[in-house]
Amino acid sequence: MEVKQYVSKTYDVIVVGAGHAGCEAALAAARMGNKTLLMTINLEMVAFMPCNPSIGGPAKGIVVREVDALGGEMGRNIDKTYVQMRMLNTGKGPAVRALRAQADKRAYSIEMKHTIEREPNLTLRQGIVDDLIVENNVVKGVITNTGARYGAKSVVLTTGTAARGKIIIGELMYSSGPNNSQPSMKLSGNLEKLGFELKRFKTGTPPRVDGNTIDYDQTEEQKGDAEPNHFSFESNDKDYLAVKDQLSCWLTYTNEVTHKMIRANLDRAPMFSGLIEGVGPRYCPSIEDKIVRFADKPRHQLFIEPEGRNTDEYYLQGLSTSMPEEIQQKMVHSIKGLENAEMMRPGYAIEYDIVSPYQLRATLETKLISGLYTAGQTNGTSGYEEAAGQGMLAGINAGCHALGKEEIVLKRSDAYIGVMVDDLVTKGTNEPYRLLTSRAEYRLILRHDNADLRLTELGHKLGLISDQRYEAFETKKAAIEAEKKRLGEFRIKPNDEVNTFLAVKGDAPLKDGVLANEFLRRPEVKYTDLLKFIPAPERPLDRRVIEQVEIQIKYDGYIKKAYQKVEKLKRMEAKKIPDRIDYDAIEGLATEAQQKLKKIQPATLAQASRISGVNPADLSILAIYIEQGKIAKV
């Protein structure tokens, strides 16, 4: 029977999908004052984690802090629901340090859903969006499977792996969203009708095993940190869990038996048998992929991670697979500590549709349809944090669009979110895109510890950071500056005490007096050491103020250089390329450059310069053409 349509309510912003992207998008839009609707297939699966039970880690952890500084929810939510917290790479420079939390998956989902329910401007509803309402290339709303037509000024699509999702385990293949949920079957086709180019990607997840059947003695325990740390600026050290209240992870390894098992059954691996059409993630490869690609590696690390506090399910980080269940079971049993492990869920691959992201502006609005934004897995990324970062940006811009305000763009030097979005819209992506520190050219600026300093101002201006928090932030900033200034006012003299201290550290003795901040630049000297030689500040400083003082002084030279590069770039970023420019009319452009420019339609000369195939010669032709001012439009 034909489902009858009816006109339902009108909203400012509609967000489709309550995954990690959709939750941030909807909260941001609503908090900016937009009447917002968040529509999702299954209300039990709000902010559901279909894969790893953790948030953060290299690059990703920095994104979480960026989302937090912009007033997003992921940081606060994981701070409420983590079961273990660890700062990674503490031995290395501040640019690569990153926080990672093990999450209680169910608690994370429940807490996020409750936050959304309590948000005044936001309505959360279960339903499947089947189509968009579009008039003259302007989005006007969405149509659901129950026939409801909702009006909106902006729509954000964050449909994740549910878009024509297909689960694959060995020879078994069936339509499904993540973890046997309903997939979204109709929206993709309708996007194609609207002219979007879709691609088929795939990702996978490892088996889960029963913790009661693991022999932990055969593995290495990995405990959480004793020293407090949080993702959100708003979280307090006093709420930090004692190590004994955190849950451990456990390290083990695959071995030759595991690898043989996989090799012997590669003909049944959907990745190689031809069953999987989608392109998989290079940086989260399945174990069968790793065995093939790194054939001579004798073993691979596996982390056994708890799925939550009130469950005994454990996640086998590193054993993502879509091998037949029979083989999975044997693989698991070949591993030390897992000889008798009961598999509770098999690993599986999932194939899904993405919207090729070169079709987007840096605001995450689609070029094709005004007011339509896409974010998250839909844009070809992989990972909860990548999704949340894009969701935040798309939500803000959908909100700005609805309010008639100017949209924002995050530059590569502003945030990892900026790096990611620029990569996506400038280069598109042929495989699931994951953030890595190596993707950022300004790593030393885009630090974990300074995300608040980089973005709180913007978050506040957008109305996403409360005045109260903003004041606390200003206080922190002032304390950092005051202490940095103070350290420039004390001189440390080369007396016995100082030189004994340096000798113990294996450092050269002082000959002349130096300013305290100079002294701090010595690699072996910590801020706390200084206080042996100069008076303590009037009031004890927060550890996060000290951290900044230390990093900013120690790395001053490098940081300054990085900012100089950024300045140069900014001048290029300022050179806008007019909309709808007709590249065919520009004489002298190389053919490849012409094609790429037509496809990507960069917004600035800087973005054009990052397109592979666009050479400096092409760039200067383009620059001159624009400067002359006589622009042909398509």
Ligand X SMILES: Cc1cc2nc3c(=O)[nH]c(=O)nc-3n(C[C@H](O)[C@H](O)[C@H](O)COP(=O)(O)OP(=O)(O)OC[C@H]3O[C@@H](n4cnc5c(N)ncnc54)[C@H](O)[C@@H]3O)c2cc1C
x/- mask, ligand X, residues 335-374, rule CB under 6 A, reads ---------------x------------------------
Least distance between a copy of itself and beta carbon 41 (Å): 6
Q: From 118-126, 364-372, 559-567, 579-587, give the range in contact with a copy of itself by CB under 8 A.
A: 118-126
Least distance between a copy of itself and beta carbon 250 (Å): 17
Phi-psi region of 102 (alpha: psi -120 to 50; beta: other; left: phi over 0): beta
Least distance between a copy of itself and beta carbon 265 (Å): 11
Q: Which is nearer to ligand X, 283 or 558 (CB)?
A: 283
With CB under 6 A, what is the number of residues at the site for ligand X? 40
Q: Is 51 in the site for ligand X (CB under 6 A)?
A: yes
Longest dimension (CA), the chain: 92
Distance CA 41, CA 575 (A): 43
Q: Which two tokens stand for residue 109?
A: 């989902």
Report the residue from 12, 22, 429, 597 that binds ligand X according to the rule CB under 6 A. Answer: 22
Q: Is 465 in the site for ligand X (CB under 6 A)?
A: no
Distances in Å between the Cα of 244 and the Cα atoms of 82, 85, 215, 224, 226 are: 14, 12, 20, 9, 9
Least distance between a copy of itself and beta carbon 423 (Å): 34
Report the residue from 310, 468, 612, 628 that binds a copy of itself according to the rule CB under 8 A. Answer: 310
User: What DSSP state is assigned to residue 509?
Assistant: P
The footprint of ligand X on residues 97-136 (CB under 6 A) is 128-129
Least distance between ligand X and beta carbon 276 (Å): 13
Do 449 and 551 contact (CB within 8 A), yes or no?
Answer: yes
Least distance between ligand X and beta carbon 411 (Å): 23
Phi-psi region of 257 (alpha: psi -120 to 50; beta: other; left: phi over 0): alpha
Binding at 284: pick from ligand X, a copy of itself, none (beta carbon under 5-8 Å per type): ligand X
Q: Is 210 in the site for a copy of itself (CB under 8 A)?
A: yes
Give 568-622 as a DSSP string.
Answer: HHHHHHTSBPPTTB-GGGSTT--HHHHHHHHHH--SBHHHHHTSTT--HHHHHHH
Distance CA 124, CA 43 (A): 8
Q: Residues 6 or more apart from 563 whose CB is under 8 A from it?
A: 445
Q: Taking the mean position of all CA atoms in its chain, how far away is CA 46?
A: 18
Binding at 172: pick from ligand X, a copy of itself, none (beta carbon under 5-8 Å per type): a copy of itself
Q: Which is nearer to ligand X, 374 or 426 (CB)?
A: 374
54 known ligand binder: no
Q: Taking the mean position of all CA atoms in its chain, how far away is CA 90?
A: 21
Least distance between a copy of itself and beta carbon 49 (Å): 11
**499: helix, coil or strand?**
helix
Distances in Å between the Cα of 557 and the Cα atoms of 221, 260, 389, 430 are: 40, 51, 30, 38
Q: Which two tokens stand for residue 530?
A: 């200084």
Least distance between ligand X and beta carbon 132 (Å): 10
Q: Is 118 in the site for a copy of itself (CB under 8 A)?
A: yes
Report the residue from 92, 117, 236, 632 that binds a copy of itself according to the rule CB under 8 A. Answer: 117
19 known ligand binder: yes
Least distance between a copy of itself and beta carbon 618 (Å): 48
Binding at 310: pick from ligand X, a copy of itself, none (beta carbon under 5-8 Å per type): a copy of itself
The footprint of ligand X on residues 168-187 (CB under 6 A) is 177-178, 184, 187
Q: Is 267 in the site for a copy of itself (CB under 8 A)?
A: no
Q: What is the CA radius of gyration of the chain?
A: 26
294 known ligand binder: yes
Cα first-last separation, the chain: 44
Do 608 and 597 contact (CB within 8 A), yes or no?
Answer: yes
Least distance between a copy of itself and beta carbon 176 (Å): 6
Q: Which two tokens stand for residue 512?
A: 């002349």
Report the residue from 30, 50, 232, 343 that binds ligand X according to the rule CB under 6 A. Answer: 50
Report the residue from 387, 424, 606, 608 that binds ligand X according to the rule CB under 6 A. Answer: 387
Q: From 197-205, 242-250, 514-522, 622-630, give the range in contact with ligand X by CB under 6 A.
A: 197-205
Q: Is 287 in the site for ligand X (CB under 6 A)?
A: no
Give 211-265 as a DSSP string.
Answer: GGG--GGGSEEEPPPSS---SSTT--GGGPPPGGGSPPEEEEE--HHHHHHHHHT
Q: Which is nearer to a copy of itself, 209 or 455 (CB)?
A: 209
Q: Is 285 in the site for ligand X (CB under 6 A)?
A: no
Do 455 and 414 contact (CB within 8 A), yes or no?
Answer: yes
Task: Compute, in degrees rounded to 10, the torsion defined by CA atoms 34, 40, 45, 46.
Answer: -10
Distance CA 15, CA 25 (A): 7
Distances in Å between the Cα of 623 and the Cα atoms of 198, 422, 586, 597 are: 32, 20, 11, 13
Binding at 72: pick from a copy of itself, ligand X, none (beta carbon under 5-8 Å per type): none
Least distance between a copy of itself and beta carbon 114 (Å): 5
Do the strands 172-175 and 166-169 form a parallel or antiparallel pair, or are they unpaired?
A: antiparallel
Distance CA 286, CA 320 (A): 5
Q: Is 179 in the site for a copy of itself (CB under 8 A)?
A: yes
Least distance between ligand X and beta carbon 623 (Å): 37
233 known ligand binder: no
Q: Is 205 in the site for ligand X (CB under 6 A)?
A: yes
Do 517 and 487 contact (CB within 8 A), yes or no?
Answer: yes
Q: Which is nearer to ligand X, 17 or 337 (CB)?
A: 17
Q: Is 264 in the site for a copy of itself (CB under 8 A)?
A: no
Identify the burial level of 104 via C-beta atoms within 10 angstroms of its C-beta, where 0-12 means exposed, 13-18 middle and 19 or more buried.
Answer: buried
Do the strands 198-205 and 348-355 form a parallel or antiparallel pair, or are they unpaired?
A: antiparallel
Binding at 176: pick from a copy of itself, ligand X, none (beta carbon under 5-8 Å per type): a copy of itself
Q: Is 57 in the site for ligand X (CB under 6 A)?
A: no
Report the residue from 342, 407, 441, 542 that binds a copy of itself according to the rule CB under 8 A. Answer: 342
Q: Is 562 in the site for ligand X (CB under 6 A)?
A: no
Which residues are annotated as part of the binding site for FAD?
17-22, 129, 184, 377
Which residues are annotated as part of the binding site?
17-22, 129, 184, 280-294, 377
Binding residues (CB under 6 A) for ligand X: these are 16-22, 39-42, 45, 50-52, 128-129, 158-163, 177-178, 184, 187, 203-205, 284, 320, 350, 376-378, 382-384, 387
Binding residues (CB under 8 A) for a copy of itself: these are 1-4, 6, 8, 41-45, 106, 110-111, 113-114, 117-118, 120, 123-127, 145-148, 169-174, 176, 179-182, 208, 210-212, 268, 273, 275, 310-313, 324-326, 329, 342-346
